[in-house]
Amino acid sequence: MRVNSLYKNNQPVISMEFFPPRDPAAQEKFGGLIDTLSSLNPDYLSVTFGAGGSTKDGSYQTVKNLIVDKELPTVAYIAGYGLGPDEIRAVLDGYMELGVETIFVIRGDKPKTKDFVPHPDSFSYASELISFIKAHYDFTLGCAGYPEGHIEAQSLDTDIRYLKQKIDNGAEYVVAQYFYDNEYFFNFVEKCRKQGITVPIVPGIMPVYSIKMTQMLSKVCGSSITPELEEKLNALSSEDTEGALTLGIEFATEQCRGLLAEGVPGLHFYTMDRSRSTQRIITQLRQENLL
């Protein structure tokens, strides 16, 4: 399954992202999670890849489970930071044997463990990794974009120039980091088009799952909590998990309505290995004949 071909259709592409379960208890729940969300017939699923290859084996097993056992269209992530070319080729060879046709390429975060030593030939930038993969494989490649700029970038304009390099080196579609104000995304797309980036740019959707998680992810990912959302969060008790979930579903559904009205090529849901929010949002949008 080559993702770039999906975005050539007129209907919005629905995709969902998962991270590999890290222990037996999470593994036990994961099957039910996939069964629930795959019943919505998403166009594809994607599986993340831990910093420095920390989930390398788990990512492979999860991709294998989705493709071989579940027969679901699946994209595999690869994060290049810290890994040498031979390690990267071993990972990609494994995915190729499974029948993976699309790889989502990111630089990846630096592992937080003190004893981690990156390979001396590790790629410093996603653009370099994309170029390497393109020279050795026939995968369709995707890459990440950041509507508010990458947290390490000097500016949004600088970050978009780096994104253009990824595209020039072979990436064929972009999935955006999540945001809580659609204007961030629309402004980002406009700036990308002016820089000559013509590939599909897909908005990432991250519903509020809990107040604590939303605040933590905002700092880590550089995605602003807008004044409107902050006011709604402040109106909730920190212990009101049900209220936070309901708020997240309603807020994200409204975001999706606005994005679909502007003709986005798809919606990419960051599920955080949860099913309820994504299921409710997609069901609601379909009831409104927006999907």
Report the catalytic residues. 17
The residues that bridge with 78 in the sheet, in sequence order, are 105
Residue 205 phi/psi, 5-degree rounding, is -115, 120
Cβ-count burial 18-57 (b if 16+ within 10 Å, e if not): bbbbeeeeeeeebeebbeebbebebbbbbbbbbbbbbbbe
Rounded to an integer, what distance in angstroms lies between the CA atom of residue 213 and that of residue 109?
Answer: 19
Other C-beta atoms lying within 10 Å of the C-beta of residue 248:
25
Rounded to an integer, what distance in angstroms lies between the CA atom of residue 7 and that of residue 164?
Answer: 19
| Nearest one of 243, 242, 213 to 225, comparing CA atoms | 213
